Amino acid sequence: MSLNTFGHLFRITTWGESHGPAIGATVDGCPPGVPLEAAMLQRWLDRRRPGQSRYTTQRREADEVEILSGVYEGQTTGTPIQLLIRNTDQRSKDYGDIAGKFRPGHADITYWLKYGIRDPRGGGRSSARETASRVAAGGVAREVLKALVPGLKITGYMVQMGPHEIDRARFDWEEISRNPFWAPDAAAAADWAVYLDGLRKAGSSVGAVVEVTISGAPPGLGAPVYGKLDADLAAAMMSINAVKGVEIGEGMAAARLTGEANADEIRMGANGPEFGSNHAGGILGGISTGQDIVVRFAVKPTSSILTPRKTVTRSGENTEIVTKGRHDPCVGIRAVPVGEAMAACVILDHLLLHRAQVGEGPRGRIG
């Protein structure tokens, strides 16, 4: 998990800058014999693609993924899969002001300080564009999971935009794909639409909370104590642009609970132990329980806004900056498929790790 590679055994290395010729992902460690075609990955990329509603950046990228290696006659061969996505809409003139100034809240300044050089066009490597590569690679992970754990399902959705949370009592899985915010609550989605229109017109931006639920994962995934499933999920989500917090199950709210309230009591069910609640978010001691795995992350507002902010130039003069470009008023929206993709990579990785150390399936039996 060093530098630009994520994963222990199912390893993705993403590469490319926002305004270079292309971006992509090198996927290594993929099991052989899994059906794979570009269209299977395109499906997920299309969910992340900008310019699909007025709530995301109007940059128009085709985001077409090509598979350059690792697949033969429609099946993975077990060798590295190179996924390439060409950059087609690179209006770098929009970014003229950024080259010499630093956007407050943006990685401009830290890239510059660290490396002493950076590609300023569209954020270069720090652009959210990098997440397209993750979505493509996550699509590979999904296809492998489909082959190995047929019932497994990974679903991301937004549970909060700015200060506005969904009402869990109205939670509806079917609703998620019906609104442009991936909200599981139709009423919240309607409110958000109005709220975000206001922000967008004001050239402002706002944060969000995204939740990803993984259902159907077998118990036993994860490895104590530094390869914990939740530690890897936390790293995965925190590595996404603009993420500032990660929670598993109760998350930060677990601090408020007593031991009695937090205990997920257990009873025998028809097919093994069943839990009366899921405060744990499906993970105990870093290992999956078989319940839904629930991970949540907060995305900060994009730093590209129309209101002037104080900053400095590279030569050290005080100035102000306004970011015109074409930006997302709420990048959290497009973070939903990215969170799903990262979750898919982590789950598959731990499935392979478990198979390596223990063999197929959990080794312990209850009852």
Residue from the set 26, 155, 179, 213 that interacts with its own copies by CB under 8 A: 26
CB closer to its own copies out of 153 and 300: 300
Residue from the set 220, 340, 341, 347 that interacts with its own copies by CB under 8 A: 220
- Smallest distance from its own copies to CB 293, Å: 12
**Could you give the angle at which helices 332-357 and 130-148 cross, rounded to 10 degrees?**
40
Tell which residue, 128, 27, 64, 49, has the closest CA to residue 344: 27
Extended beta strands in 100-189, E state: 153-161, 164-165
Confirm or reject binding of residue 81 to its own copies (CB under 8 A): yes
Element (H, E) at 357: helix 332-357
Which of these ranges, 15-23, 38-46, 90-98, 177-185, lies near its own copies under the rule CB under 8 A?
Answer: 15-23
Confirm or reject binding of residue 85 to its own copies (CB under 8 A): no
Query: What tokens does 155 get?
Result: 């679903």
Q: 217 and 282 in contact (C-beta within 8 Å)?
A: yes
CB closer to its own copies out of 87 and 174: 87
Residue from the set 38, 40, 254, 322 that interacts with its own copies by CB under 8 A: 254
Which of these ranges, 47-55, 114-122, 169-177, 185-193, lies near its own copies under the rule CB under 8 A?
Answer: 114-122
CB closer to its own copies out of 172 and 317: 317
Q: 176 and 184 in contact (C-beta within 8 Å)?
A: yes
What is the Cα–Cα distance from 96 to 100, expressed in whole angstroms? Answer: 8
Confirm or reject binding of residue 341 to its own copies (CB under 8 A): no
What is the Cα–Cα distance from 94 to 77, expressed in whole angstroms? Answer: 42
CB closer to its own copies out of 151 and 259: 259
What is the Cα–Cα distance from 47 to 343, expressed in whole angstroms? Answer: 16
- Smallest distance from its own copies to CB 35, Å: 11
- Smallest distance from its own copies to CB 324, Å: 14
Tell which residue, 124, 97, 49, has the closest CA to residue 338: 49
Residue from the set 249, 293, 334, 337 that interacts with its own copies by CB under 8 A: 249
Query: What tokens does 114 get?
Result: 């660290």
Confirm or reject binding of residue 246 to its own copies (CB under 8 A): yes
What is the Cα–Cα distance from 196 to 327, expressed in whole angstroms? Answer: 13
Query: What tokens does 336 get?
Result: 């939903």
Which of these ranges, 38-46, 53-61, 105-113, 167-175, lies near its own copies under the rule CB under 8 A?
Answer: 105-113
What is the Cα–Cα distance from 96 to 308, expressed in whole angstroms? Answer: 16
CB closer to its own copies out of 105 and 180: 105
Confirm or reject binding of residue 207 to its own copies (CB under 8 A): yes
Confirm or reject binding of residue 150 to its own copies (CB under 8 A): no
Confirm or reject binding of residue 284 to its own copies (CB under 8 A): yes
Q: 13 and 5 in contact (C-beta within 8 Å)?
A: yes
Tell which residue, 145, 140, 131, 147, has the closest CA to residue 38: 140
Confirm or reject binding of residue 111 to its own copies (CB under 8 A): yes
Confirm or reject binding of residue 188 to its own copies (CB under 8 A): no
Print the binding letters for residues 343-362 with its own copies: x by CB under 8 A, - otherwise.
---------xxxxxxxxx-x
